[in-house]
Structure 1
Amino acid sequence: MTSKPPFDGEVMRLGDIAKVSAGNVAPKKSAFCDSGKPFVRAGSLSGLLAGGSVQSLERIDDKTAERLGFRLFPAGTVVFAKSGMSCLKGYVYTLPEECYVVSHLACVTPSADLSKYLEHYFNYNRPNRLIENPSFPSIKLSQIEDIQIRLPEKSIRDKQVGRLEAVIDLVDICKDAESRFDDLVKSRFVEMFGTLEHPRYTIVELQDICAYIVDCPHETPKYDGMLEYPAIRTSELVGTTIDWSSMKYVSEEEYQRRTRRLIPQPGDIVYAREGTYGSAAILPDGYRFCLGQRTMLFRADASVCLPQYLLFAITSPDVKGQADLLNVGSTVPHVNVKDAKRFRIPLPSLALQREFADFATRVDKLRVEAQVQKEKLQTLYDSLAQDYFAI
């Protein structure tokens, strides 16, 4: 059995190696402009971490910022929520360029050579661990300043950061592969079946090829009691897959109440019908699902349509375009069951649908392999981070 090598360095107080401060009070909408520097809000962190860019954020010009007394935070500043519900999630983001930052965010500005080290430190030691009362989540700046951090000499830090960055790069490659697999299947769908503008097969309405089209109960599920049954919501529908990381569960009583219209079964398709509408996924075997908020369920008529074909038909650009037209001028983007029933899609033979389904299944196996590799890499990252940052 090998022992962990002794730590060669110092344990430092964060406030002694970085400036810890709060961001700026959010200005009125009139203060924003088309140019200037980005303004980062707490609510934008999840989007930025999911691959978004500061280029899409609201902006403030320097003259307005100076008049409002705003402080500009340099690239390399590590930011995270210090109050509010975003605080519970523990999102950590490092500014890639100079930004103004909302006051709900804590800003940790180290010297340049410590920026990446602290970014990985907080990615491992999430700041939400400092929350004392989850009912009123908040973190004091003094708590952040008093964090004790292992600080090896620079050459060792650089090697540690290099290893962690290498693992993250591989994780990103796996994430990119996952999204590209979905694009591959969608492009194959168009290649085989054409589009509404250039149809190759008879165009039918969705109601003609579904045995059931069912809306969810229009009320929030009760998440209390013995929680056993997954209540799938729009947040779990990512592209054409199910994201289990945010899944919530309901009791037997709530499950029975939410499945009175129809009991979901494996092979049914759940569709996001409000907000970020258009994502969908096939329900897998081994679970007893019910519909959460803002979803609807499609069950293919097996005599004319296969579930895998139907999944990519309803998530195709053609169907998304039909939904977009229904939402022109809408303040709350959504799809009604009545509208969904009228969605127009091509209907090839079952033999061609099976050919497409076989292709989608092979691609899905590759997607699962990428997910497995991503999870293994994340475990490796956590193991290295524990060695480097645990005191």
Structure 2
Amino acid sequence: MAKYQKYAEYKDSGVEWLGEIPSHWEFFSLKRAVNKCTNGFWGAEPNGDNDLCVLRVADFNRNNFEINLDKLTYRSILSKEAENRLLKKGDLLIEKSGGGEKTLVGCVVQFNEDFPAITSNFVAKMTPSMSMNSRYITYAFSHLYAGRVNFSAIKQTTGIQNLDSEAYLMEKFCFPSKNEQTQIANFLDHETAKIDTLIAKQQKLIELLKEKRQAVISHAVTKGLNPNVKMKASGVEWLGDVPEHWATTKLKYIAEQIVDAEHKTAPYFDDGQYLVCRTTNVRDGELRFEGSKYTNHQSYMAWTQRAIPYAGDILFTREAPAGEACVYDGKTPLCLGQRMVLFKLDKEIILPEFLLYSIYSGLADNFIKQLSQGSTVTHFNMADIQNIPLFELPIAEQEEIVLYIISKLNKFKKLVDNANTAIQLMQERRTALISAAVTGKIDVRHWKNPNKNNNQEKMEHST
């Protein structure tokens, strides 16, 4: 923030987390900045007569503090129920129930649309007072939320966080004049938009790298590495030609055992030492432990009667989502949860890593899509899993392909990691810029929008 000036004089706010504020700014509770907080209403199933847009927490865009318009919900709302709840441009929406393990309840976004709408019962509307700039208050609330100032007003009940909005609005904050609020809001709109553009470019880069990663895997396990090898028709339209010396086979012919982990009884979770591997634990070719569930030795022995997973086995998800897989390294003792499948391979015929990359090449997905007329793959039947098409080729060639893919993927991972680091730094800068502007740590009163001429600025200032 070194390139921005500070105010000439400051005064102590008396609040430790806020520190000093510009001497001419006022300091009072958030409750004075809004007229009132009105709870929302969910209504009934839409019937075509009283249908009205009901905005949910799921509609919050937590990046730009506005509303996402892509999946709006409509409910049947009677006129008397909507009367005091209808939103106007500039109203704020505050999340009153929700949150999660990593996010607090209490996010605030701005409603800036022309269509009629109300909030759901988990969201309340707040109308800014006449002396307040709506966008400035939105940024102020984003600063408070990022600093977890709302934490003391949260009540936890059975996993759901509820915000005591009355208690939260009693928190004090600093406010300049409305004209200065407008200037700060315009400055932040412009500067955060620039940061968001840079973030979007990095996100696009990540998507392109993922597409390139997929292309490398698909080509290597279906075409091989030798560009001069003689090819033959695979007999499958979507697969095209394959190396002539490769034999087409199916999973059931090269797997010693394919075990469906569907249990007659639901898994029993406790503090035991055995991981219950669920579909949430298998993502992008890796075994992940976020949100893991564990069980005891008795349950482990009961659930592994058909097969105990050993190093080199493949863990495969039937659904939720379908088609995720990883090679089990044997380090963490585990049994399989619902919708999981275990492949025990004949390693003299196929390497586990080669099979893994074959799965992620699209062989499994495209095969199932062909069976279901191209629809999105949401579930794999056991019969379909057994018939997933694969290739049988020399082990030495499989090893060469696996090493090539690993080398390429390591390079892609480094590039993706760099892009994610850049995104994180830009997001941190965005948060810091908002914080500095709305708390008066930087003075932007003389900032001019480079995209507007003087006449436009005068007209905006006069309104």
Fold match, TM over 0.5?
yes
* Matches of 1:71 and 1:208, distance apart in 2: 63
Matching residue's letter, 2:349? V
Aligned to 1:103: 121
Report SS of the residue matched to 2:155: coil
Greater helix fraction, Structure 1 or Structure 2: 1
C-alpha change, 1:105 and 1:312, in structure 2 (3 Å) is: farther
* DSSP 3-state at the match of 2:380: coil
Matches within 5 A, 1:109-188: 111-119=134-142, 121-123=144-146, 125=148, 130-135=153-158, 137=160, 138-149=162-173, 180-188=208-216
Matched residue type, 2:21: D
- Counterpart Cα distance in 2 of 1:144 and 1:132: 11
Tell me the residue number matched to 2:218: 190
Per the TM alignment, residue 204 of structure 1 is displaced from its structure 2 partner at its CA by: 1.6
| Residue 268 of structure 2 is aligned to residue 222 of structure 1 | yes
Structure 1 residues 150, 89: closer, same or farther in 2, change over 3 A?
same
Tell me the SS of whatever aligns to 1:315: helix
Structure 2: runs of 5+ lacking an equivalent: 1-16, 129-133, 224-233, 440-463
Residue in 2 that maps onto 1:234: 279
Query: C-alpha distance in 2, partners of 1:373/1:329?
Result: 33
Query: What is the CA–CA distance in structure 2 between the aligned matches of 1:357 and 1:325, rounded to whole Å?
Result: 27
Bigger mean CA deviation after superposition, 134-143 or 86-95? 86-95
Tell me the distance in 2 between the aligned counterparts of 1:289 and 1:215: 15
Distance change in 2, residues 1:123/1:5 (3 Å): closer
CA displacement 1:289-320 (0-9 Å, x = unmatched): 33233222224432222223222322343422
Written as runs of structure 1 = structure 2, the 5 A alignment for 1:52-71 is 54=68, 56-60=70-74, 69=82, 71=86
Q: CA deviation at 1:20?
A: 3.8
Superposition map of 1:357-368 within 5 A = 357-366=402-411, 368=413
In structure 2, how many angstroms separate the alpha carbons of the residues matched to 1:129 and 1:280?
Answer: 42
The residue that corresponds to 1:312 in the other structure is 357
Match status 1:24 vs 2:47: no
* Partner residue, 2:11: none
Secondary structure of the equivalent of 2:364?
helix
What is the aligned-residue RMSD (CA, Å)? 4.9
CA, structure 1 residues 126+145, in 2 after alignment: closer, same or farther (shift >3 Å)?
closer
3-state SS, counterpart of residue 320 of structure 1: helix
CA displacement at 1:340 relative to structure 2: 0.9
State, as a whole percentage, how many aligned pairs show the same letter: 18
**Gapped runs of 5+ residues in structure 1?**
none
1:80 equivalenced with 2:95 (yes/no): yes
Tell me by how many angstroms 1:66 deviates.
Answer: 6.8
Contact in 1 for aligned 2:27/2:172 (Cα 8 Å): yes
Structure that is richer in strand per residue: 2
Please state whether the residue corresponding to 1:114 is helix, strand or coil: helix
Instruction: Tell me whether 1:345 sits opposite 2:368 in the alignment.
Output: no
Please state if 1:205 is matched with 2:233.
no
Distance 1:329 1:368, change over 3 A: closer
Find the aligned partners of 1:81 and 1:5 in 2 and give their Cα distance. 24
Is the Cα contact below 8 Å between 1:80 and 1:107 reproduced in 2?
no
Other structure's SS at 2:20 match: coil
Please give the alpha-carbon distance, in whole angstroms, between the structure 1 residues aligned to 2:30 and 2:316: 46
